[in-house]
Each structure stands twice: as structure tokens, then as C-alpha cells.
Structure 1
Amino acid sequence: MKHAKGAYKIEEYQDDLEYVDDHMVEKETRSGLRLLKLLINVLIIFIIIYLYNRYISSVDQLPQSVGNIIYFIFIISSIYLITATNYLLQSEKYKLEKLFLIVMVPVSISYSLIMIPGMVPDEATHMRLTYSLASQIMGVEQDKITLRGEEKYIYDRLPTAPNMDSYDYSYSHFFSGEDNGEYVTIDADSANWKQIFGYFPAVIGVIFSRIMHFGATPTIYIARLCNLFFYLWLTYFAIKKIPIGKQLMFMIAILPMCSQQMMSLSYDAVLNASTFFCLAFGLFFVYNSEDVKFDEYIKYLFSAILILSIKSSIYSFILLIPLLSKFKNLDNNIKIERKQKVILLLSISIFILVLNFVSFGSNVAKETAETAATTKNIISWSGTEGYTIGWLITHPIQGIALFMKTINIKGEWYYYSCLGQDLSWFTVKLPLEIFKIWGLLLLVCALKKEDNQLDKRMRVLFIMINLIIFFLVLLSMCIYWTPLTFDYIEGVQGRYFIPIVFTILIVINNNKINIKENMYRYINVFACLLTVITIMNLIGVCFTNSIAIG
């Protein structure tokens, strides 16, 4: 009996020791984590000081308006970096969609201030169409594009490269009131009202600014801001809802190229946001079909209309994802799966028929279609004969060689410019080393360990969608922009592939090679730091001509 009591006491003592050991280990672990968080914050502060000395300390030599904006960009970037870092380190379960807002609001403002109106590719065209649509709605335009006098003044002087005079004018008129509100016409035909789908956020901004009698410069920025709100709104819910590849979607959405395009007058902001949204909700239908609500179908179909009405509907193949994938959580209830797919298929088909009936496609789409039916195609920018569908059909070997040589010559540039190495009209070139890191981050995010997995059917579907869209992008510019004398396709830009970056990379996600969840807290801290480093390099290239970080 005494022996039993002694054994019990020994066992109880051992349990107490184990409890104390576990408690001490837990305490030491927490202390270690607190120390790590402190070290990371100290490191961030030292990096901010280094960036200031490297890029900001010499801005006093610039015009005062330019220097003030650079200081403003540095301050909001520093505050954002510290805020995002502590949100990631302090939150037990941080939300990527919330982190996306913390990152993109200051980053987008910074990009928009550096890439002033005109510096974003094709922004003059987008400005012309946006303002034309706004003028038509306001009833001040007939057959020719109509602008306010001061809007025409800015339109005629839009820069395509960093220019100190343009920066000074833009910043010094940032809060200006209406100076010349008299409407004048320019020698260009009015925009087709059916193009409203790609421009409606910016059009709302222009109309609001004109009603409030804001000056021409704040009008452009308010229109840009409306595009930004739309991008943030759709992309926020895309990141929140997507059931697989959430980390990858977040990283794509904060790429430098997306940051440039989302707060500009370009319809890329609408297109990219709609594509992300349809990708996310399409996959949500596949993996969480029992949880789908009616209003989510409506939101999905709204975004589908935008995809169908922009860029000749090239990216509409993304809408096939929920139609051709096998739904995952219906317990083999084929009737429910078929019902949901029929609803989606009929809805999308009706929209396609309606859009085709009223010709909602862009002028580029119409010209490309007309070119396909003709024997001669004159390229607008060169005035020489270009490729046609007929030529490609009758010269299949040369056609294949044309596409292969294009990939060989331009493939690497497509990749880096898609990430954002060449910004503006390719006049702002950032260090290659930065975008090697951005590419590595995308790869790391694609390998994140996921609760849901892609099956072989979905991997094949993604690969086919990628190949079709890639081919159609090249084909459209082959016909619309490439002279017959060129032995490679001209006019394709890396940003055209942003809508399929997700479907390209997610196919490498697997169970054998993956990275666990706890690592991504620190990977995201690094990603936030990289956005600030990229912005400082932009300042260096555009304003101070500093040697970029490499």
C-alpha cells in the first residue's frame, strides 16, 4: 500500500515537472517571438532611414512642389510599412484581404503621384474616351469629343516620360478650381457609348468633378481615384472568397504593374479587377457550391459582362472554370451540380448574345474582325500592309515560325514587364534584380500548402485556358499592329497577361513540394518592404536619378 502511494506521488511529481517544463518552453517561445518581432521592427526603421538618405535627402534641389510630393510619398510609405509589419506580427490570424487594403491604398496613391496623367501607357486615349463618354452623358457633346478648355490644355501636353516641368505643373495645380470651364471640341470622333463598361468608374469621377467645378488636374485624379475604388472593391472580395491560392492572388494584386494600372484612366483597372473577381468566385462555386448565395451569382455575372465587353472578350475563357470543373462538396449530387452549371451557362450565353447583338466590343475588335475578312490590312502606325487571318491560313509554316520567334525574342521581356520592370511608356526601367525577387515571391506563393487541391481535370483546364488566351493576345496584335515586313509580332505588352498569371502559376501547387502557413507571415512582411523599395526606386529613376537598389 505504501509502495502504491509512493508510486502515485512520483507520478504526480513527474506530471508537475512536465507541466513546468511545458510552461517554461511556452514562455521561452513567447519571449523569443517578442524578441524577433522587436528585431524586425528595428530592422524596418533602419531600412527606412537608409532609404531616406539614399533617395529623399537630396530632393531640396528640386522644385518645391515636387519636393513636397516626394516627402509626402516617403512619409505615407514609411507609415504604411510600419503599420503593415505590426499588423502581420501582432495579429494571431491576419486576413490577407485586410492586408491588401493596408498595402494598396498608400501604394496606389504613390504610384499615381509618380506616374502623373499621361505617363501610363495609352492614357491619352483612355482620357479622350472617358471624357467623351462623360460629355455625352452631360449633354454637351454631339459628334466630336468635347472637353473643357483647361482639360484640352492638359490633354495637348500629356507627358509620356518623366519630365520636371510636367511634374511641377501637375503638383502645383493639384487643388485648383475651374479656370476655363467653356467646352471646346477636338478633332476626334465621339466615343461609342457602348464602351462605357470599361470606363464607367472614371466617367463617374469626371462628371462629379465637372459638376463641382474642380480644375482639370483634380478632375483627372478624381477619375483615377474612382478606378482605384473599383479595383480595391472587387479585388478585396476576390482575395476574401477565393478557396485556393489566396496568398498567390494577394501577391499578384500588389505587383508594380497592377499598382500602376489600377489608379490610372486605363480600363485595365476594371479588366484586372473583374478577372480576379471571376477567377475567385468561379473557384468558390467549384469548391464551396453549397454555400453560394443568389447575390453572388449576380456579382459574378456583372463581372462577367465587364470581361466580355473589354479587349475583344479575349479573357472570357476564364469564365469556363466553373462550367467545366467538377464541383467538390456536393457528395456526388450530380443534379445540383448540373443545375448550377446550367444557370451559369445560360446566363453567360444570354449576355454574350446581347453583347454581340449591340456590338459592345471595342473598335479594335471590330477592326480586327473586318481585317480577317479582307485580303489587305494596312497598319495604322506604319502605313504599310500587315498580316491577316487569310495570310496565316495560307502560310501555316511561316505563321508558326512567326509566333515561335516572337516568344523567343520577346518572352523574357513579357515576363518582366508583366511584373512591372518597364513602367510608363517603357521609359521608366527599374532594376532587374527587384523583379527577380518579385518573380520568386510569386513562385513561393504558388507553392503554399492548401487545404483544397487542384485535380488533374482542373490543371488541364487551366493550361488550356492559358494557351488559348496567350495565343489570342498574340494573334490580335499580329493582325492589328504588326507590318508584314516584321518577322515577329509587335505591340504585345507584358501587362496583357496579368489576368492569367494566377492560372499559370497555380498549376504548380502540389502536396509534395509546398511551404507551410507559418512562414507566410514573414514572407508578407518582406513583400511589404519590397513594395516600398520599388517605390523608392521609382523616385530615384523619375526624380533624382539616383542609382537604383540592385
Structure 2
Amino acid sequence: MIKITAKNEKKSFIIYGLLLMIMCLSLLCFYFFMVRPASFEEVSYQPNYPQEASAKEMKLQKGQTWVQTIKGSRNEITSFDIMFGAGKSANVSVDFHEKKSGQLLGSWKLEVPEAEESHYQHFAFETPVDNAMGKEYEIKIQTEETSEPTVSLPYTEKDFYGNGSLTAGGEKLDGDLFFLLNATSGFMRKLFMGFAAWVILGGAVLAFLVIRRKCRTENLFLVLGLTWGMFFVIFFPPNTAPDENAHIATAYSNADRIMGREAEDEQGKVSVRASDLNIPVMTDVSRKTFNMVYEKWQEPVNDQAVSYIRGRLGTPIVAHLPQTIGVVLGWLTGQGAVQTLYLGKFMGLLFYIFCVYWAIRFIPWGKMSLMLIALFPMSLELAGSFSYDCLVNALCFLFIGYTMHLIYKKEIVTWKDILFLAAIAGIMAPCKIAYIFVCGICFLIPKKKFRKKQYFIGCGMIMASGVVFLIIERMSFLYNSLVATGESAGAVEGAVGFSLHDIISQPINSLKMVFNTYFEQGEYYLGTIVGQSLGWFQVNISWVVIAGLLLLLFMTTFSSAQESECMTAKERIVVIMLSLIMIGGTVMGMWLNFTPDFCTYIAGVQGRYFLPFLPLLVLAVKNKTIYIRKKMDYGLAAAVFALEFMAALDVWRYIIK
């Protein structure tokens, strides 16, 4: 046992004070050498044309004036771009006016070069337009050619822009020009300062708890989870988690039902507010995406009901309940589209932290292992997203923690305990079928802790609740699929996949597929289970961080004076068998539903699919071979904070690149 003396406390204060100073210095260097220069670079932020924005073209006649009105959605406009069509070179004049006062803010005369395809021309202001937020402007385009018109202007078939109109020679057209407004990203400097202040605060609180050495593991998790969970909520905007648009659609559909609104249209597409639809699905964690979020944050609310781009997933309402509550709160309080989406992400994070907090508190040993897995960058990204993986991971961790409490600590198992676990199983199983086998660990609860026949009845209830809710939900999904048109998913459109008959009838080829998957994808699985590829696999985290977190996880498998218990041989066998079943079920699902027949390995499997039962595998390998006399919790917590800090800088580096 470590005695806390004034000398030890002073030594710890000096060490962690130096570490905080190094972190502050790193933040300052990162700001001045990377964030600040990038914030002065121009970014095209508006409009973001959807993929279906097909173009028409019209020749620019002599004496004819094209006028595109726009509305400033930023305080600054440094330049703009206009798309011209293919054709011969021609002399063109472009003027930029403030609509209300008629003030000329910029005028350009240029020769549009001959081109074989459409292209943008750039127009830069000598002095950027300031205080542009909410003001209306006009872009006027004329040609000075005396011969036949040669220059054409492409424009959209529909009014995708929404904040302006287009006229040609006094005649109003239905669409808008293809144009881009450009500005610098000065707000990114303020965003980074806010990030730095939040991280320093979290680091200071953690240092205080570590120095005092009077903090439970679950409280350490609270500090780390809130500090870095909020980072992933804010710096991974909506739609940047894998398949998040499908989960957003489902949460909005659930919110429609709760609010008593029409949830889907005749084609099965989800009903949302017009302002919610006005947010493009941008999957990249980039400056352009943050510019879009910054711009859309300030748009007014439009409650008109419109159809979203897709239908809901076939999952029960509880699968997205935390995020749905956030959406409902956003609607009830009159929040804009971006604020509503962030509320959904924030509620998901709160639910995740709440469940994991109690899971760590309940579990009698292996607390640091569970905490570390719950703090993986991949775990936190999913926790702060609309994905139902947030709920699945949280409930799996809670189920494992509470069941371990019943196995090793609680003397008598009551019906309340059984009903609690049965409720978790009933919610968890319909979301992802394979994870129902997590519930199999309830059979490890010693019979002597039950009264009479409660053992088989109770454990059977826990497993049966998951199966029953699964059947009910799938029947509902099948019924809905008959009355509504949904969307199908697949790896390659039109490709032939594998059937169960193919896998069984060709054992040699099937074994080859399995071995190829291990050898070709093993490193990818190991990296992505921790968080090596975040977002839609664009944000790469350094392998130094990944290896560091895996090393810390390995260290948590050593026994210590505080946690000397381990599983018996029988318990290890059961846990490993259940884990192999879940791994096999996950891989088989992707093999049958996602892998084209020309693939040499099983496609679509990601490391994050193994997160819900990873704590079981780690607990199963915990041993007494290596015994650590000193308590590692505080040192490991500080190391996790440092590695998460490095991961956050990797994310920032990607954003501003």
C-alpha cells in the first residue's frame, strides 16, 4: 500500500505540473505554426451543390445582363468564383454590388479563356467585404462581344441555393448560377483556443485527482470521458461517423413519432424540417465541413415538413433513444438544424458516460481494462455520434460490469438483478444479433447465489428476453418492408455475393478466404478497434498512439495488490467460446451480405465490431504470472490522457491540412 506523504505529494505536483506545462507549450506551438496560418487561407464555403444538381447552359448575349442575388452567411467575403461554360474566349465584365444601397464593391473586366469544358473563374476583392452576415448582394455579368455570343453560363435546374435568385435579361430563371463564395476561416482560431482551454482544464482536474490519490477509477473515467468525449462530439461534425446519415434519419423518424408527426412519406423517406434538409451530407472532417457547420449554425429555423434523402433503419426506437431525445429537445426549444444535430450527439455521449461509469463501478476487478477500452478513440467517436453503436457498446459494457459484480461480489442474486440484466438484453439484441451472446456470461453466476430453481429460470429469462425482443422487432421490420420502400445496401452494385451453400460446399476456398482475411486485414482490425482510422476512414491516428493504448491495455492484464482475482479455467473457456461465436457471427454476416464473389478476403469487417465484447477477452487473459505491487491506476490514467491528446492533435492536423 502506498502512503501519501507531503514529500510524495510535492514530487507528484512537480511532475504533473511539468507535464501540463509541456502540453501548454505544445498547444502554443501547434497554434502558431499550424492553426493560425491555415485560418488565413481561403476556403469555398457556399453553396454546397448536391450531386443531383444537373446543369443547363445559356449563351451570354451582348447587352444582356445576368444578375445573381446572394445573401451573406458569413461576416467576410474575400472572393468568389463563377462557372463559365465551354466555348471560345470572350471579354466579360463582372460587378459586385450591395443590393440595398447599390454600392459597388468590386468590378472586374477579363477575357474568359477558350475552354473545352465548364470551369470556374476567380474574382478576388482588393479589400474583403466585411459585416456581410445577412446582407443581400448582386453579381452582375455582361459581355462586351459585338459578334455572335460564344460564352455560356451554366445554371442549376432547381433553386438549390435558396438564398437568392437568378435573372437573365430581366427574365427570372428557376435555378441559380454555379458560384462559390470564399472566405478565411478565422473562427478556427477561436475554436482551437476553446479546445485548448477545455483540454487544459481537464488535464488540471485529472492532475489534482492523481496527486491526491483519493479518486476511484470510475471518477477518473468521468474526467477522461467528458474531456475527450466532448472533443469527439464537437470536432467530428454530424454525418462524419460511418453511415451516420442512416442513423440520423432513424433518430428523426423516432422524433416524428414521439411528436405525433408523419414519420415517413409514401416512398418510405423520413420526414424532417426544411432547415434540417438544408444541411448537405458532408462526410469529411475538414475545414470545408467546419465552414459549412459555422455557416448553417446561424440559419433561421424552417419548420416546413420535407422528405429526407433516405428512409429509417429497421431498428427499435430504443436503439437511437438518447439521440432521439436530443432531436426532440432541439425541436421543442426551436433550435436550428446544426444545434439539433449536436444535441443528439451530446445526449448520446451522456448516455454512454452514464452507463460506462456504472459498469466500472460495478465490476469488482478489471476496472482499468474496461475504462481503457471505453476510452479508445473509436469508442468515443461512436459514443458522440448518432450511431446505435453508442447504445450497444454502452449496454454491453454495463451488462459485463454488472454480471461480473454478481459472479464475484454479490452474495445473493435477486429477481431485481435478473430483470435488470433481462432488460439490457432485450434492448441490446435487436440492434445487433451477434451481441446477444454477451448475455451468455450470466451462466457463470454460481448456482449457490440463487434460491432453489432460480438459476436456470433467471438465466433463461435473460437470454430469452433478448431472443423474444429480437423476433418481435424483426417481424415488425419485415412487415414495414412490405408496406414501405426502403433502400438496399451492398458492397458493389450489381455484384454477386456468397451464399451459405457456397461457403459450405467449397471448404478449401472458404478456409483460404479466412486465412487471407487474417493476413491481409489483421493489422487493419487491430488498428481500427482502437481508432486508427476515424470518420469515414479519412482521419488517420498515429500508430504511436495506437501502440501506446494497446500497450496500456496489455498492462491492465497484470495482477496487482488491489485486483488479484482472475477467472477460473472453466470461466475462461466459456468467455473465449462466446467471443469466438460473436467474432464468427460478425464475420459471417459480412461474408454473406457484403463480400462480392471476386474478393479474396471477407470484406466490410471493421475493428469497431469487436468493441462490445473486447472487455470479456481482456478479462479472460488477465493472469497472475506477472504481479505488480504498486497501484497503476493513476499512472495509466495520466498516460491515457497524454495519448488522447496526441490523437486530438492528429485530428486537428487533418482538419487544417
Match of 2:434 in 1: 314
The equivalent position to 1:473 in structure 2, one of 555, 571, 586, is 586
Q: For 1:43-87, what per-residue CA distance to the aligned partner results, in whole angstroms no more than 9, with x for missing partners?
A: 222222332133222423311222211211111011101111210
Residue 295 of structure 1: how far off its partner (Å) = 4.0
- Asked if 2 retains the 8 angstrom alpha-carbon contact of 1:115 and 1:424, the reply is yes
Counterpart selection for 1:207 from 328, 337, 341: 328
Corresponding residue for 2:541? 430
Aligned partner of residue 307 in structure 2, secondary structure: strand
Aligned-partner SS, 2:638: helix
- CA–CA distance in structure 2, aligned partners of residues 246 and 427 of structure 1: 32
Contact preservation (8 Å) 1:44, 1:82: no
Decide whether the 8 Å contact of 1:239 with 1:280 is kept in 2.
yes
Report what 1:441 is aligned to.
552
Q: Check whether the contact 1:148–1:183 (CA below 8 A) recurs between aligned residues.
A: yes
Q: What SS does the aligned partner of 2:474 have?
A: coil
* Residue 339 (structure 1) aligned with residue 454 (structure 2): yes
In 2, the alpha carbon distance for the partners of 1:229 and 1:443 equals: 28
Which letter maps to 2:207? T
1:380 and 1:481 in contact (8 A); partners too: yes
SS at match of 2:625: coil
Report whether the alignment pairs 1:513 with 2:608.
Answer: no
Q: Is the contact made by 1:322 and 1:341 (CA closer than 8 Å) also made in structure 2?
A: no
Secondary structure at the aligned position of 1:472 is classed as: helix
Contact residue 129 and residue 191 of structure 1 kept, 8 A: yes
Aligned-partner residue type, residue 352 of structure 1: V
- 1:182 equivalent in alignment to 2:304: yes
Deviates more, 1:348-357 or 1:482-491: 348-357
Structure with larger RCO (C-alpha < 8 A, sep 6+) = 1
Displacement of 1:308 in angstroms is 0.7
Aligned to 1:528: 641
2:581 matches 1:460: no
SS at match of 2:238: coil
Conserved? CA contact 1:206–1:219, under 8 Å: yes
Per-residue deviation at 1:267? 0.7
User: Structure 2: how far apart are the matches of 1:356 and 1:214?
Assistant: 37
Distance 2:637 2:628 in 1: 13
**Matching of residue 286 in structure 1 with residue 369 in structure 2:** no
SS in 1 for 2:631: helix
1:315-357 deviations in Å (ceiling 9; x for gaps): 111101121x252xx8xx3763852442131243144234314
Answer with 220-229 or 31-40: which moved more. 31-40
Deviations 1:288-313 (A, max 9, x none): 242545544333222211221112x1
Report the alpha carbon displacement of residue 452 of structure 1 after superposing the two structures with TM. Answer: 2.5
Asked if structure 2 preserves the Cα contact closer than 8 Å seen for 1:148 and 1:182, the reply is yes
Larger proportion of helix = 1
Partner Cα separation in structure 2 for residue 87 and residue 80 of structure 1: 11
Q: Is the 8 A contact 1:247 1:448 kept in 2?
A: no
Task: Kindly indicate whether the alpha-carbon contact (under 8 Å) linking 2:558 and 2:626 is maintained by their aligned counterparts in 1.
Answer: yes
Q: Specify the SS of the correspondent of 1:489.
A: coil
1:499 and 2:621 equivalent?
no
**Mapping 1:284-433, distance limit 5 Å:** 284-292=405-413, 294-311=415-432, 313-323=433-443, 325=444, 327=446, 333=448, 336=451, 339-359=454-474, 379=490, 381-433=492-544
TM-score calculated relative to the size of structure 2: 0.71
CA contact (8 A) 2:270 2:310 kept: yes
Q: How far, CA to CA, are the matches of 2:326 and 2:371 in structure 1?
A: 27
Q: Are 2:227 and 1:106 equivalent residues in the alignment?
A: yes
Say whether residues 1:119 and 2:240 are aligned partners.
yes
**Cα distance per residue 1:183-210 (max 9 Å; x no partner):** 1114544555x52121111111112211
Letter in 1 for 2:438: I
Is 2:285 the partner of 1:165? no
1:51 to 2:26 alignment: yes
What residue ranges of structure 2 are gaps of 5+ in the alignment? 40-184, 483-487
Tell me what 2:15 maps to. Answer: 40
Q: Is the Cα contact below 8 Å between 1:386 and 1:479 reproduced in 2?
A: yes
- Letter aligned with residue 468 of structure 2: L
Aligned residues of 1:309 and 1:355 also touching (Cα < 8 A): yes
Aligned residue number for residue 23 of structure 1: none
User: Residue 421 of structure 2 aligns to a residue in which SS?
Assistant: helix
The CA RMSD measured in Å over matched residues stands at: 2.5
| Higher CA-based Rg | 2
Letter aligned with residue 49 of structure 1: C
> Once the two structures are superposed, what CA deviation does each residue of 1:228-259 show, in whole Å capped at 9, x if it has no partner?
11111111100000112111001111111111
Which one-letter code corresponds to 1:277 in the other structure? L
Per-residue deviation, 1:512? 2.3
Q: Are 1:81 and 2:194 an aligned pair?
A: no
The residue type paired with residue 456 of structure 1 is A
Q: Distance in 1 between matches of 2:243 and 2:304?
A: 26
Aligned to 1:272, which of 379, 393, 399?
Answer: 393
Q: Distance in 2 between matches of 1:438 and 1:123?
A: 26
Contact kept, 8 Å, 1:378 with 1:385, in 2: the verdict is: no
Inter-CA distance 252–516: structure 2 relative to 1 (3 Å threshold):
farther
Report the Cα distance in structure 2 between the residues aligned to 1:302 and 1:76, rounded to whole angstroms: 36
- How many percent of aligned residue pairs carry the same amino acid? 22
Deviates further, 351-360 or 386-395: 351-360
User: Hey, what's the Cα distance between the residues in 1 that align with 2:585 and 2:216?
Assistant: 36
Point out the more displaced range, 194-203 or 270-279: 194-203
Shift of 1:142: 4.0
CA distance in 2, matches of 1:399, 1:453: 37
Separation in 2, partners of 1:361, 1:414: 33
Does residue 275 of structure 2 align to residue 150 of structure 1? yes
Distance 1:358 1:115, change over 3 A: closer
C-alpha distance in structure 1 between counterparts of 2:312 and 2:473, whole Å: 17
CA distance in 2, matches of 1:261, 1:123: 10
Taking structure 1 as the reference length, the TM-score comes to: 0.85
CA distance in 2, matches of 1:354, 1:265: 22
